[in-house]
Structure 1
Amino acid sequence: MIYAVGIGPGSTRTMTYEAMYAIENSDVVVGYKTYIDLIKDIIKDKEVVSNGMKQEIERVKKAVEIAKTGKTVAVISSGDAGVYGMAGLVLELAEHEDVKIISGVTASTAAAAVLGAPLMHDYCHISLSDLLTPLDLIYKRVELAAQGDFVMCIYNPRSNGRPDYLKNAFEIIKKYKHISTPVGIVKNAERENQKSVVCTLGTIDYDDIDMLSIVIVGNSSTYIKNNKIITRRGYKL
């Protein structure tokens, strides 16, 4: 049996009961070292298999090998296993093993709760990491989402190797959204050292943003009230 488990944004208090149950009932926990460290207090009695970044395929192959021996394996992802997580790889690489996907609180909804209620209407997720997706395709998705007036949740917004991708994306967005459009930034959502900033398309400070940040850009009905971001659903008040 293989569980693909979303452990939430980073603290055990934001894990679902189902995620906790799956981990408790697993013999082996497999995951990226950083995520293993986030739940180390609840897996002390487990066999643990961990490795570094860009080794996702190797992790899942190892999990499948272990499951073939009859052990129950939990392959963990931060957030939701099916949102930029490990669920897809587990399903692709599993052979005859039973697989159960365990959902979790993903970074965008965790960040949204910190910021207020920015996701009250149609929204999309776009990752600015071009490790697995061509950059021109990423920018095309940014443009179409902005043109469609979606609220936009931007994952992997900025890193040392990609210092200008977010700025470039915002220049595209500004063709369709006013510079007064609210923007929320949450770093380390639901983890230690959480930090949030409410600003606009025209006042964003890119230096506030790194790979541990989620950036949420509002739509034409989004506004700021008492330093909280609200996207109108359309109710007549």
Structure 2
Amino acid sequence: MSGYVKVVGLGPGAPDLVTPEVQRALDDATDIVGYGPYVERVPRRSGVRTHVSDNRQERQRAQLALALAAAGSQVVVVSSGDPGVFAMASAVFEVMDEHPQWQRVAVQVLPGVTAMLAAAARVGAPLGHDFCVVNLSDNLKPWPLIERRVLAAVDTDMALALYNPRSNARPDGFGRVLDLLQHRCEPARWVVLARAVYTPQESVRSLPLCQVSADMVDMRTLVIVGSSRTKRVGPFVYTPRQVTTA
């Protein structure tokens, strides 16, 4: 059987949110490639080789996966959430773009449930109308660009999902974005802080922007900032679908 690479999303954490398509790919794999904590989420199976690497070694993982597939292995590259959302799918295609010898390798991307959608479902429908997504990590893009994109979302009154808000290596980023939001938005705007959704460590809360502080989030937190029209009804937060003014 010829080799291939399948880049898959394991969802936010719960085994029930791994799609049947992804599970079949895992069952058929000869090799599993990925960041350590994600590989650990895949049940061990006899005869399957695992290749674990550090969080920032995306390109090395992609190179290894493509090389294994070119040699005939059935390779699954695992990502948390969806592989096309700030994850491994782009890294694989970046490496293919730079190395023509691997462009004939069969590659397939299998979607997963993103942290953004899982977090939104936990509180209701805060992404019920137009929204955008910004990764607050400045490892691969300059910080001023992050700020411009956040402000563009606010100025066009879209809900905003923020990935990777704060880490030990980047302790100040979310605080800087929070300052921008608190100066540009009304204090009562709804914010969702969803940490480790669909895992035993889950913590989800909704609160007004004026009550949010930077120390409330970490790298496992997904932040959703509502639009000016986002509302709370009972325990739920939602954004109405209809816009009546331009």
Relative to the length of structure 1, the TM-score reads: 0.94
User: Cα–Cα, structure 1 residues 152 and 19, in superposed 2: closer, same or farther, change >3 Å?
Assistant: same
**Among candidates 130, 133, 149, match of residue 141 of structure 1:** 149
Paired with 1:188 and 1:127, the residues of 2 have a C-alpha distance of 17
**Among candidates 50, 55, 58, match of residue 56 of structure 1:** 58
Secondary structure at the aligned position of 2:7 is classed as strand
Q: Which residue of 1 aligns with 2:240?
A: 232
Percentage of identical aligned residues: 34
Task: Give deviations 1:134-175, integer Å, cap 9, x for gaps.
Answer: 001101111111111110000011122322221211222234
**Among candidates 70, 73, 97, match of residue 71 of structure 1:** 73
Paired with 2:132 and 2:225, the residues of 1 have a C-alpha distance of 10
Paired with 2:37 and 2:186, the residues of 1 have a C-alpha distance of 38
User: Cα–Cα, structure 1 residues 195 and 70, in superposed 2: closer, same or farther, change >3 Å?
Assistant: same
Relative to the length of structure 2, the TM-score reads: 0.91
Q: What pairs up with 1:175-190 in 2 under 5 angstroms? A: 175-190=183-198
- Kindly provide the amino acid, as one letter, of the partner of residue 144 in structure 1: A
RMSD: 1.6
Secondary structure at the aligned position of 1:29 is classed as strand
Structure 1 range deviating more: 205-214 or 120-129: 205-214
Paired with 1:3 and 1:24, the residues of 2 have a C-alpha distance of 12
**Among candidates 209, 214, 217, match of residue 222 of structure 2:** 214
Paired with 2:207 and 2:93, the residues of 1 have a C-alpha distance of 40
Paired with 1:188 and 1:31, the residues of 2 have a C-alpha distance of 19
Task: Give deviations 1:192-218, integer Å, cap 9, x for gaps.
Answer: 210011101111132221000000000
1:119 aligns with 2:162: no
Structure 1 range deviating more: 86-95 or 189-198: 86-95
1:31 aligns with 2:34: yes
Report deviation, 1:74.
0.4
Task: Give deviations 1:99-140, integer Å, cap 9, x for gaps.
Answer: 001010011001111121101001111111111110011011
Structure 1 range deviating more: 60-69 or 155-164: 155-164
Q: Which residue of 1 aligns with 2:138?
A: 130
Report deviation, 1:42.
5.2
Contact persistence 2:175–2:213 (CA under 8 A): no
Paired with 2:77 and 2:230, the residues of 1 have a C-alpha distance of 37
Contact persistence 2:189–2:230 (CA under 8 A): yes
Task: Give deviations 1:11-66, integer Å, cap 9, x for gaps.
Answer: 21111111111111211110000101122x25454211111121111111111111
Structure 2 gap segments, 5+ residues each: 97-101
**Matched pairs, number:** 235
User: Cα–Cα, structure 1 residues 43 and 124, in superposed 2: closer, same or farther, change >3 Å?
Assistant: farther
Contact persistence 1:91–1:99 (CA under 8 A): no
User: Cα–Cα, structure 1 residues 42 and 10, in superposed 2: closer, same or farther, change >3 Å?
Assistant: farther
Structure 1 gap segments, 5+ residues each: none
Paired with 2:197 and 2:10, the residues of 1 have a C-alpha distance of 13
Q: Which residue of 1 aligns with 2:210?
A: 202
- Kindly provide the amino acid, as one letter, of the partner of residue 83 in structure 1: V
Q: What pairs up with 1:143-158 in 2 under 5 angstroms? A: 143-158=151-166
